[in-house]
C-alpha cells in the first residue's frame, strides 16, 4: 500500500470480490489455518444478524487467484442469537486439534471445530449453570501470546477470563461502572477494556485487585465502544467512541490522544490495524466508507486526513484485516461480504 503524492487515493471495485449472503452479515473472521490438502483455500467465517434466536454461521472459501468467495458444503451451522464476534484460533499450529478452531459469542462463549467436511460443537462456557439469567456478551478476544486464554466482555459490567484448553473459568473481574463493550489483550496477562462509562481501563491478571484508568472521555455521557491494540507496537491503542471519533492513544502519555480520526460523515462501526505495519489502520462506518489512515509520529491535535478510501454504497457494519493475507481487507455491509485488495 503506497501513498500517492500525499493525496487521498480511491480503492477500486475492480480490486475486490463480493459474496452475497441470504441474510444480513455482522460478525466475521479470517482463518490462519493451513491444510495439507492441495485445494484448500483460505477460509472466512461469517455470522448472520437476524433479530431472533435462530441464526447461523457460514464458512466460506476464498480463491485469491480466481477471485471467488464460495460457501463450503456442510460447513454451515446453526447459532443461538446473532454472534457479536467470531474469531479463529490465533495460533492454529499451537492448537491441540488437527482442524481449525472457531470461537463465537452471543449469550455464551462457544468453541467449534471446523473440519474439511463437518463442524463439531466443542464446548459452551457457562459460569452460572444454576441461573436462568444470562448477561449477553458484547465481545471477546483470544490471547495470541497465551492462546489458552479468552477474555469476554458483558453488559453486566464484568470481564471473564476462560482457560479454553481445560474448559474452565479462570477469573471474573468487575471491570467498569457500566456495560463493558469490548476487550483486547496486549500481553499474556494484560488486557484493556472500554465501556459505556467512557473509560479505558488496563488489567493485569498478576494483580487482580488493581486496575489502571488510562483514559476518560472529557465529554460527559460519551460511550467508548471498541478498542484495538497495535500488535506491532503496543504503545498504541485505538479506541472508538459513539461521538464519531477514533482516538489513537500513546501509552507513554495516554491521557490525551496522539491523534483523533474524525473524517467519517456518520457513526463509526469498526476498526482494524494493519497486520504488517505499525502506522496504518482502517476504519468503517454508517457513511458507507472504509478509510485507511497513516498515523503521524508526533501529536496532531487537529486530526489527519485518510490516505485511501473505498465507498461501499451502504452502511459498513464490520471490517477485518487478514493477518495471514496482508493485502486483503474484508468489509460487511447489508447481506454482502466484500474483500478489498489493498
Q: Output the CA–CA distances (angstroms, integers) from residue 260 to 42, 174, 238, 256, 331, in the order listed.
A: 34, 29, 10, 10, 22
Q: Nearest 10 degrees: CA dihedral of 252, 262, 276, 278?
A: -20
Q: What is the DSSP track for 183-204?
A: EEESSSSEEEEEETTSEEEEEE
pLDDT at 94 exceeding the cut of 70: no
pLDDT on residue 204: 96
Parallel, antiparallel or unpaired: strands 16-20 and 336-341: antiparallel
* Residues facing residue 105 across a β-bridge: 85, 109
pLDDT on residue 91: 84
Mean pLDDT of the residues in the chain: 90
* First and final C-alpha spacing in the chain: 6
Phi-psi category of residue 183: left, alpha or beta, with phi > 0 → left and psi -120 to 50 → alpha: beta
Phi-psi category of residue 156: left, alpha or beta, with phi > 0 → left and psi -120 to 50 → alpha: alpha
- 3 state SS of 96: coil
Give the whole-angstrom CA distance, residue 213 versus residue 63: 44
pLDDT at 2 exceeding the cut of 80: no
Give the whole-angstrom CA distance, residue 172 versus residue 195: 16
Give the whole-angstrom CA distance, residue 209 versus residue 329: 39
pLDDT in tens, 13-24: 567 899 999 999
Enter the C-alpha cell of residue 284.
468503517
Q: Output the CA–CA distances (angstroms, integers) from residue 160 to 24, 168, 225, in the order listed.
A: 29, 11, 18
pLDDT in tens, 201-239: 999 999 988 899 999 999 999 999 999 999 999 999 999
pLDDT on residue 35: 59
Q: What whole-number percentage of the chain has pLDDT above 90?
A: 73
pLDDT on residue 13: 58
Give the whole-angstrom CA distance, residue 26 versus residue 24: 7
pLDDT on residue 36: 55
- Given a contact cutoff of 8 angstroms between Cβ atoms, the answer to whether 211 and 174 are in contact is no
Amino acid at each position: 500500500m503506497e501513498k500517492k503524492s500525499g493525496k487521498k487515493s480511491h480503492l477500486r471495485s475492480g480490486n475486490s470480490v463480493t459474496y452475497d449472503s441470504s441474510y444480513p452479515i455482522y460478525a466475521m473472521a479470517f482463518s490462519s489455518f493451513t491444510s495439507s490438502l492441495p485445494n484448500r483455500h483460505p477460509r472466512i467465517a461469517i455470522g448472520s444478524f437476524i433479530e431472533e434466536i435462530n441464526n447461523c454461521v457460514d464458512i466460506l472459501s476464498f480463491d485469491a487467484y480466481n477471485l471467488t468467495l464460495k460457501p463450503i458444503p456442510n460447513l454451515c451451522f446453526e447459532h443461538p442469537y446473532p454472534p457479536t464476534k467470531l474469531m479463529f484460533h490465533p495460533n492454529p499450529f499451537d492448537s491441540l486439534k488437527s482442524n481449525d478452531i472457531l470461537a463465537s459469542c452471543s449469550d455464551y462463549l462457544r468453541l467449534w471445530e471446523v473440519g474439511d467436511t463437518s463442524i463439531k460443537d466443542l464446548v459452551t462456557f457457562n459460569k452460572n449453570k444454576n441461573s436462568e439469567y444470562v448477561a449477553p456478551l458484547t465481545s471477546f478476544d483470544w490471547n495470541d501470546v497465551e492462546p489458552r486464554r479468552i477474555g469476554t466482555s458483558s453488559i453486566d459490567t464484568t470481564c471473564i477470563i476462560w482457560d479454553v484448553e481445560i474448559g474452565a473459568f479462570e477469573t471474573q473481574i468487575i471491570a467498569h461502572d457500566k456495560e463493558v463493550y469490548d476487550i483486547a489483550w496486549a500481553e499474556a496477562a494484560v488486557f484493556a477494556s472500554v465501556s459505556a462509562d467512557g473509560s479505558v481501563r488496563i488489567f493485569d491478571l498478576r494483580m487482580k485487585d488493581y486496575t489502571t484508568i488510562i483514559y476518560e472521555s472529557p465529554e460527559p455521557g460519551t460511550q467508548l465502544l471498541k478498542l484495538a491494540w497495535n500488535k506491532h507496537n503496543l504503545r498504541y491503542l485505538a479506541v472508538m467512541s459513539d461521538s464519531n471519533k477514533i482516538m489513537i492513544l500513546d501509552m507513554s502519555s495516554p491521557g490525551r490522544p496522539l491523534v483523533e480520526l474524525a473524517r467519517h460523515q456518520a457513526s463509526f462501526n469498526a476498526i482494524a490495524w494493519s497486520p504488517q505495519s505499525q502506522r496504518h489502520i482502517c476504519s468503517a462506518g454508517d457513511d458507507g466508507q472504509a478509510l485507511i489512515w497513516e498515523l503521524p509520529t508526533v501529536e496532531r491535535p487537529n486530526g489527519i486526513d485518510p490516505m485511501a478510501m473505498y465507498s461501499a454504497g451502504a452502511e459498513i457494519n464490520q471490517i477485518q484485516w487478514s493477518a495471514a493475507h496482508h493485502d486483503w481487507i474484508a468489509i460487511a455491509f447489508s447481506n454482502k461480504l466484500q474483500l478489498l485488495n489493498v
